Structure 1
Amino acid sequence: MKKVLMFSYSIIAYIIGFASLLLWIVSVSHLVPEISIDQPQRMAFFPALLKNLSLVALFGLQHSIMARKSFKSFLTKYIPRPIERSTFVLISGLLLILLVNQWEPMGGLVWEVTSGSVLFYVIYVLFFTGWAILFISSFLINHFDLFGLRQTYLELQNKPYTKLKFKVFSFYKHVRHPLYFGGILGLWATPTMTMTHLIFAIALTSYFVIGTLFEERDLKKEFGELYKSYQAKTPMLIPFIKRNKS
């Protein structure tokens, strides 16, 4: 019964985590005005900026702290190990929903591409390409392990959990973190860049870069020289940029 409950918990966490990603994508797409981050301005610029940066800081701190091995060891003293990842996904999903839902519009127009022009459609192709790269990358590294379902499913089947092996293929041949690259591309490829969207993109891109640096440190500890060799010849976030061999 306990294993069934853990698996059910992981499914709920997965649904919330996945739904939060979809909400995030739609909120920056300018395709559904009702849930867009670009609503009419309600607050003065600086209070809105402070609130927005606080929301990003909350989201970023939760990710950075809960992703650390030391915190995972602490957490699993109080919850079963198989649902540790699902708990991370659940809290991350709820905070991402909070971030999008509570994001304060800030007004202002940075650029706007004419609707129906060739450039307008090119930008939207880049937008959807970025998010496609993000989702495809999650499956390349094992989507269900990333979202915590594999852990509880193995427990349900009375099978031991095995760590994922380090593999370099597909997008990972060209960039070390294609999942983050896809998210950054999706954030910045917009035909209408408002100040609201610009701050959103800058803040989350900054988090991606900081989060990547923490993740790289953990990967070097886990995979040692194997990852250092990969790191030396593959760019971190921008694909197809040649590395300096020296």
Structure 2
Amino acid sequence: MFLINHIILVVLWVLFGIFHSVLAANWWKRFMERRLGLRYKYYAFSYSVFAAVTLMAILLYQVYLQSNLLYVAPAWVKLLLCLPLGTALVIMGIMIKKYFFALSGISVFYKEQPPVGELELDGMNRYVRHPLYFGTLLLIWSLFFIYPFVKNLLACLIITLYTVWGAILEEKKLSAQFGEKYKAYQKHVPMLLPRL
């Protein structure tokens, strides 16, 4: 049962990544726009709700899954790891607050619409092209080293692969949207891990 439950966890994370990628893909959005017509304005909000609910369900499954501890981290290591964990939470909080209105689709319920996206070159984007993805990686790996269970390692590996893949897909969208300006930005700022 131990092995089966961990395989289920892996499958859930893989399916989450696949659904997340397909539902956010431009080709799928164009398809849905043709199918939904005027109701398409609710697509981003519906997608955000679906993503949030499925993410919470997977996290609940993972939290309550019985798993083996890979090693016992000393208290001082756990305390030390609170620094990158706190940093990750701050980065993610800033980025979510900055983009929530536009990306969540909640703006469909307001008369005032968010401005069309511009290429962000300041703030955290001076150090890394995808600060939210960097914050995500920092968060999950900090949590793994604090709570080094097999289930958390499996989740970290899959989320890391998906995050890198997602960043590569996002890079293609941004290159198409911003052209040479984005290509010049790519040459000077790393994609996921800021330079020390």
Kept in 1: contact 2:107–2:113 (CA 8 A): no
Alpha-carbon distance in 2 for matches of 1:222, 1:72: 16
Amino acid at match of 2:171: E
Q: For each residue in 1:186-208, what CA deviation from the matched residue of structure 2 results, as whole angstroms up to 9, or x when unmatched?
A: 11113231111111111111111
| Amino acid aligned to 2:95 | S
> What residue in structure 2 maps to residue 63 of structure 1?
20
Tell whether the 8 Å contact from 2:130 to 2:192 is kept in structure 1 after alignment.
yes
TM-score, normalised by the number of residues in structure 1 = 0.71
Note the 1:56-95 alignment, pairs <5 A.
Answer: 56-76=13-33, 77-78=35-36, 80-95=39-54
TM-aligned CA deviation for residue 122 of structure 1: 1.7
TM-score computed with the length of structure 2 as normaliser: 0.88
Structure-2 separation of matches of 1:160 and 1:211: 26
Structure 1, 195-204 or 96-105: larger mean CA deviation = 96-105
Superposition RMSD in Å: 1.9
* CA deviation map 1:103-140 (0-9, x unaligned): 3735222233223x2x3222012112112211212334
Deviation at 1:162, TM superposition (A): 4.2
Q: What is the letter of the counterpart of residue 160 of structure 2?
A: T
The answer to whether 1:148 aligns with 2:128 is no
Q: Which residue type is aligned with residue 110 of structure 1? A: L
Alignment of 1:73-222 (within 5 A): 73-76=30-33, 77-78=35-36, 80-103=39-62, 105=65, 107-115=67-75, 117=76, 119-140=77-98, 142-153=99-110, 157=111, 162-190=115-143, 191-222=146-177
Distance 1:215 1:137 in 2: 16
**2-structure distance, mates of 1:90, 1:58:** 16
Measured after TM superposition, the shift of residue 98 of structure 1 is 2.0
Q: Deviations over 1:67-102 (max 9, x none)?
A: 111111111231623212101101111210221123
Equivalent pairs, count = 191
Q: Does 1:44 align with 2:38?
A: no
Q: Which runs of 5+ in 2 are unaligned?
A: none
Structure whose residues are more often helix by fraction: 2
Is the Cα contact below 8 Å between 1:106 and 1:195 reproduced in 2?
A: no
5+ residue gaps, structure 1, are 1-42, 242-246
In 1: Cα distance, 2:6 partner to 2:187 partner:
38
* Partners of 1:203 and 1:146 in 2: CA distance: 24
Percent identity between the aligned chains? 25
Give yes or no for the alignment of 1:54 onto 2:11.
yes
1:151–1:161 CA contact under 8 A, matched in 2: no
Distance 1:135 1:62 in 2: 24
- Distance of 2:31 and 2:114 partners within structure 1: 19
What is the distance in 1 between the residues matched to 2:103 and 2:51? 12
Q: Say if 1:144 and 1:150, in contact at 8 Å, map to a contact too.
A: yes
